[in-house]
Structure 1
Amino acid sequence: MSPRAKALLLVLVDMALPIGLYYVLRAMDVSYHSALLISSLLPGLSVVASLVRRRRPDGLGLFMTAMMVGSAAVSLLVHDPRFLLAKDGWITAISGLWFLASVRGRQPLAFAFTRFVLEGRIGPLKDGDGSGRESWDVLWERLPAFRRIWRVATVIWGIGLLTDAAVRVTMAYTLPPDVVPGLGGLQYGVFMVLMQVVMVCYLVPTGLYNRWSPLYLPLKETPA
């Protein structure tokens, strides 16, 4: 299965199915709290499946696992329906802070998430011989400008996630309970589209997508 197909499957399991399950349970007169609890545990299935398959999570897997485990723990321990409605907002806020904290780490989260989808599709050709794209590990080690791009991108994502979190928490405490899950799901789509636009506006001028960009010139000027 391609990385894009895997990403779409995760969206289905982790977002669409929980929202659909919530409204099915509410239609069956299940209480707000019970419906939220049951539906919020569903995304953990994909994380468990990933851990069983890979056994040793990488940095990206650790991030996703921690977010899902934290979400499940909140669902099980908290009995306030409004807080559960706001849970996605609080988890999103933690994600935003984690993004910002990773800027000073070995590799920022925006780099880890993006290489999962785009590595091998963008960047210069290996040694200019057309045998494939240069490894992002090589680009990271040899190009300071490449590292700077992903640190800035990670800051942008961190700020975006914190903004998204503030909107989610506000909705959870001000709107009718049955409206929040559906709007929250819609907000994921709107947020992702807006962030993709912002990232394209930032990344394209850096030359990241142009294999002849000056960004990659140091690879030719220094020995491999």
Structure 2
Amino acid sequence: MTPPATPAPPAASAPAPRPRTGRRTALVMAADIALPIGLYYGLRAAGVSTYLALLVSALVPAVSALVQFLRERRLDGMAAFVAGVILLGLAVSLISGSTRFMLAKDGWVTGLGGLWFLGSVRARRPLAFQGARPLLEGRFRSDGTSWDVLWEESPRFREIWRVSTAIWGVAMVLDGVARVLMAYVLPVDLVPALGGLLWPVTLVLLQVVNGLYYEWSGLWRITRAGAGTSVGLAAGPAGVTGSEPGPPATG
């Protein structure tokens, strides 16, 4: 008797794009924050003028965004925004020749980024949702339910991410204001170091505030329970849940 034919193995599918992990994000942030500061003070120690040292060190985030694009053939929205504002700031600085403007550039970038976050609060997908999704979806306190499903079926889930986006927006605007004030008030060579130290302070405070808000609002109860339950549909603060689904999703 002829043995049954062995089925051919399925064709290997192309690997999916690798999501950005927390470690990769931290490395990118370190490159965009620590390298410009180190480069600035290295150039100053070598006798380069303040303005030229600021100009050269300001190119690092734009180069980082370019490297990301060449490696992944895509550019994160925030990276594209920051690179665009930096290049615009460099162009204006070349025209004005203002050292103080160069120092204040990070403040303008951060402040405009904060306004962008605030403007996205009522968008189809707010920026905090888009930024957190690659890091958290399916990995942290999750039952595996897609965030797209949660977004469509849980009004509370949508509200949490809109509030979180507003928190980020307000914090970034305040951070930007502080940076602009430092740029125009403090001694020139002190501003890059203080500006670099302000980044971790702002980010840690944001993580703490958002983490407490996520716990209080019941975000992780929603992601663990999924959208098909009363918890997933209408989880409220301090574990209060509703038995009825909320209004249909509007976006």
TM-score (normalised: structure 1): 0.87
**Which amino acid in structure 1 is aligned with residue 80 of structure 2?**
T
CA distance in 2, matches of 1:144, 1:204: 17
Q: How does 1:30-109 map to 2 (within 5 A)?
A: 30-57=48-75, 61-78=76-93, 79-109=97-127
Deviation at 1:174, TM superposition (A): 0.6
Conserved? CA contact 2:86–2:105, under 8 Å? yes
The offset of 1:217, in angstroms, is 4.8
| 2:136 corresponds to 1:162 | no
1:186 aligns with 2:204: no
Using the alignment, how far apart are the partners of 1:109 and 1:173 within structure 2?
A: 30
Asked whether the 8 Å contact 1:89–1:164 carries over to 2, the reply is yes
- Residue 209 of structure 1: how far off its partner (Å): 1.9
Distance 1:34 1:76 in 2: 13
The share of aligned pairs that are identical, in percent, is 46
Q: CA deviation at 1:218?
A: 6.5
Q: Is the 8 A contact 1:208 1:215 kept in 2?
A: no
Alpha-carbon distance, 1:13 to partner: 1.3
8 Å CA contact 1:99, 1:157 repeated in 2? yes
Structure 1 unaligned residues grouped into runs of 5+: 126-132
**Structure 2: distance between partners of 1:90 and 1:157:** 16
The Cα of 1:63 is off from its aligned counterpart by 2.9
Letter paired with 1:109: L
The structure that has the greater radius of gyration is 2
CA distance in 2, matches of 1:80, 1:124: 50
Identify the match of residue 232 of structure 2 among 182, 200, 216.
Answer: 216
Q: Measured at CA, do residues 124 and 29 of structure 1 come closer, stay the same or move farther in structure 2, by a change above 3 Å?
A: closer
Q: Secondary structure at the match of 1:47?
A: helix
CA RMSD of aligned residues (A): 2.2
In the TM superposition, what is the alpha-carbon distance from 1:124 to its structure 2 partner?
4.4
**One-letter code of the match for 2:23?**
A
Q: Normalized per residue, which structure has more helix?
A: 1
Please state if 1:119 is matched with 2:115: no
Cα distance, 1:55 vs. partner? 3.0
Q: 1:87 offset after TM fit, Å? A: 0.5
Work out whether residues 145 and 215 of structure 1, in 8 Å CA contact, stay in contact via their aligned partners in 2. no
Aligned to 1:15: 33
Amino acid at match of 1:4: G
What is the one-letter code of the residue matched to 2:210? Answer: M
CA contact (8 A) 1:100 1:155 kept: yes
Change beyond 3 A, Cα 1:164–1:72: same
- 3-state SS in 2 of match to 1:46: helix
- Distance in 2, Cα, partners of 1:44 & 1:38: 11
Q: Check whether the contact 1:37–1:76 (CA below 8 A) recurs between aligned residues.
A: no
The aligned amino acid for 1:136 is W
Structure 1 residue runs of 4 or more that deviate by more than 6 Å after TM superposition: 218-222
Structure of higher RCO (CA pairs closer than 8 Å, 6+ residues apart): 1
- Which ranges in structure 2 are unaligned for 5 or more consecutive residues? 1-17, 236-242, 246-251
Q: Does 1:139 pair with 2:146?
A: no
The letter for the 1-side match of 2:219 is: L
Does the CA-based 8 Å contact 2:142-2:220 persist in structure 1? no
In 2 relative to 1, CA 164–102 (structure 1 residues): closer, same or farther, beyond 3 Å?
same
Contact 1:153 1:199 survives alignment (8 Å): yes
Q: Is the 8 A contact 1:123 1:208 kept in 2?
A: no
* 1:82-121 alpha-carbon deviations (Å, 9 max, x no partner): 0110000011110010001111211000101111211112
| Matches of 1:124 and 1:51, distance apart in 2 | 30
